Structure 1
């Protein structure tokens, strides 16, 4: 949540922003459109919760 103000700053700084996140299920920012959900794991396996194995890919400014 503390990083969310950066989403608008990234959009202002670049014509396109590609963002990957495994922790937040709903980004809550209308400028970012979810493109894909990818199943991934760390190596070595750090025994993270299974819910964090789903990485959501978002794109902003991809008109």
Structure 2
């Protein structure tokens, strides 16, 4: 539990549940993982397409 109680000047008695901080953290981490995965797939797919083009050019040269 996060306690945001005041000091000597003003007793502010508010308490926030830890879920207020944990849930946004989970959302941010999940989005980061999702976009990282999409970026990785995009780069792998681009490399695979380049390799296929290279193979096709080599096959055309052999014929």
Give the TM-score category using the shorter length: under 0.3
Which has the higher Rg, Structure 1 or Structure 2? 2
Report 1 or 2 for greater relative contact order, CA contacts < 8 Å, sequence distance ≥ 6. 1
Relative to its length, the structure with more strand (as a share) is 1
Relative to its length, the structure with more helix (as a share) is 2
Give the structure-1-normalised TM-score: 0.19
